[in-house]
Homo-oligomer: A and B are copies of this chain.
Amino acid sequence: MSSPASRRPARPTTVTLKHVAERAGVSAITVSRVVNTPDLVSDVLRAKVTAAIQDLGYVPNRVAGALASAESRAVLVIVPSLSNAVFIEVIQGIQDVLEVAGYQMLLGNTQYDLEREQDLVAALLGWSPAGVILAGLRHTERTRALLKSSNRPIMEIMEHGARPIDMNVGLSHYKAGESMGEHLVSRGYREIGFIGGRLNADYRAMHRFKGLERCLARHDLRRRPPFTHECKSSAQVGAEALMRTLDAAPELDALFFANDDLAVGALLRAQREGIPVPGRIAIAGFNGFGIGELVQPSLTTIVSPRQRMGQVAATMLVARIRREAEGRHRVDIGFSLRVGEST
């Protein structure tokens, strides 16, 4: 019963379960129940405990709770990039749901590197997360093994595919590429190129390219390797890529950019250079950011339901964490073509 205070001066004097229990005249477990599963406590005791919590300004120590239960109220969210607005919007959707459900997000950024992803997963599992959301279906074997043996609900997002580790919410990037290809062909374009960056790492963009290729093959149109650059996508990079590509392949009459950042940059640059869009060159993107509707000409693009994807994924995950889940483990969230003036 001797106080350890003299030995641990660094530890701030904190209100603990025990203090609340003493104040309320109940046991510690009862306080714990009031905090976590109030329905299991009688009205009388619950009122006493709630009052004691208020009086003392008790804040539960989540770390202790996590250690005791081997499960923290944290969800790992691992994405390839934060400079890409797509992931920001997905993260917002996830946050919307996690916050209401009382879970904290632990955010990791792999920078499109599967080894980094593996290290992140290993390190972050040390937090005993209640669940994991990560981008993509492509991971190292060890990442898969770590996630599986963690016995936590796992949600893979962004792309929809056949063999998820556990659950999956995403869309078919291949079909999206095909869909844009069909649109361009139907508009009469015949010399169609694809511009993207770091396609080995951003393999979802590569899937879109493959979808486009499939479409071009079907129509007996010329297929070209993608025009690539080895840097992060941005409007500036898209602007440069447009000029370089038109120089290298002046016969092109349409360009499908890997994303809207690139496409909007290209559009604005074309305008500045006096290159008619779509008269000289048609321009299309992928994402469906709001800015695409404001530029002139407005951008033809594929709209992915980013925030909703995050919400759906987080909702399914939370249901599984709470063991209320049933039914589908795989959701194709779809996409839509938004036809603007640029094609």
Asked if residues B294 and A268 are in contact (CB atoms below 8 Å), the reply is: yes
Identify which of A19-27, A41-49, A58-66, A171-179 touches chain B: A58-66
A10 in the interface, Cβ–Cβ < 8 Å? yes
Identify which of B59, B122, B125, B269 contacts A126 (C-beta below 8 A).
B59
Q: Is A95 an interface position by the 8 A CB rule?
A: yes
Within 8 A of B (CB), among A91-118: 91-92, 95, 99, 104-107, 109
Distance from A266 Cβ to chain B, minimum over Cβ atoms (Å): 10
Within the complex, the shortest CB–CB distance from A131 to chain B, in Å, comes to 14
Q: Known interface pairs A106-B106, A126-B59, A272-B296. Does A290 touch B235 (Cβ–Cβ under 8 Å)?
A: yes
Interface mask (A28-49 → B, CB under 8 Å = 1, otherwise 0):
0000000000000000000000
List A54-97 residues whose CB lies under 8 Å from chain B. Answer: 59-64, 66-67, 70, 72, 82-83, 85, 88, 91-92, 95
- Contact across chains for B105 and A61 when beta carbons are under 8 A apart: no
Residue in B closest to A105 when the chains form the complex, CB atoms: B107
Chain B residues positioned under 8 Å from A104 (CB to CB)? 106, 124, 127
B291 contacts A235, C-beta separation under 8 Å: yes
CB-defined contacts of A268 to chain B, threshold 8 Å:
294-296
Asked if A82 and B63 make an inter-chain contact with CB atoms under 8 angstroms apart, the answer reads no
Report B-chain residues with C-beta under 8 Å of the C-beta of A95.
82, 107, 109
Alpha-carbon gap, A127 to B10, bound state (A): 16
Chain B residues with CB under 8 Å of A92's CB are 82-83
Residue of B with least CB distance to A237:
B290
Given A150-B12, A294-B239, the answer on whether A125 and B59 have CB atoms closer than 8 Å is: yes
Q: How many positions in chain A have a CB within 8 Å of any CB in the partner chain?
A: 53
A271 CB-CB contact with B under 8 Å: yes
> B63, A127: Cβ atoms under 8 Å?
yes
B294 close to A269 (CB less than 8 A): yes
Report the minimum CB–CB distance from A133 to chain B (whole Å): 14
| Across-interface contacts of A294 in B (CB, < 8 A) | 235-236, 239, 264-265, 268-269, 272
- Write out the residue numbers on chain B whose beta carbons fall within 8 Å of the beta carbon of A126: 59-63
Is A63 a contact of B61 with CB atoms below 8 Å?
Answer: no
Within A138-197, the residues touching B (CB, 8 Å) are 149-151
Query: Quick one: CB contact mask for A207-235 with B, threshold 8 Å, 1 for yes?
Result: 00000000000000000000000000011
- Residues of B contacting A107 with CB < 8 Å? 95, 105, 107
Query: A128 near B: Cβ within 8 Å?
Result: yes
- Asked whether, in the complex, the Cβ of B59 is within 8 Å of the Cβ of A123, the reply is yes
Residue A11 lies at the interface, judged by CB distance under 8 Å to chain B: yes
| Closest residue of B by beta carbon distance from A87 | B88
17 pairs from A and B in contact (CB 8 Å cutoff): A8-B70, A12-B149, A61-B67, A62-B127, A63-B67, A63-B128, A64-B67, A85-B85, A88-B88, A104-B106, A104-B127, A234-B290, A235-B294, A264-B291, A265-B294, A268-B296, A269-B294
List 8 tightest A-B contacts by C-beta distance, closest first: A62-B126, A268-B294, A63-B66, A11-B70, A63-B67, A12-B151, A59-B126, A63-B128
